[in-house]
Amino acid sequence: MRIAITGGTGFVGRHLAERLQGDGHEAVIVSRRTGVDIDDTEALATAFAGCDAVAHCAGINREIGEQTFERVHVRGTQAVVDAARR
């Protein structure tokens, strides 16, 4: 399977990607480091193209600048769901 992982460079996402790849799956890493903003539905839909599943692991434990709980956990999760539905 080809599986997109939001937050794929973070602690949980990185370990999930390693496990999935070890089991023979293709992990598509989606994160700020790969140039995708978590609340950008269009960019997420493009990143998810051709994927069989999405694991949403993006999250923050403190707010820094534009990375607020509202933006990441609320708007970001909604954008991930909307993009995955496409």
Domain ranges of the chain: 2-85
| Alpha carbon of residue 55 to chain centroid | 7
C-alpha distances out from residue 43 to 33, 48, 69, 77, Å: 13, 9, 20, 14
Task: For residue range 6-55, list pLDDT tens digits in order.
Answer: 999 999 999 999 999 999 999 999 998 899 999 999 999 999 999 999 99
Instruction: Identify the CATH number of the domain defined by range 2-85.
Output: 3.40.50.720
What's the confidence (pLDDT) of residue 22? 98
Angstrom distance (rounded) from CA 72 to CA 2: 24
The alpha-helical segments, DSSP class H, found in 8-75 are: 11-22, 41-48, 69
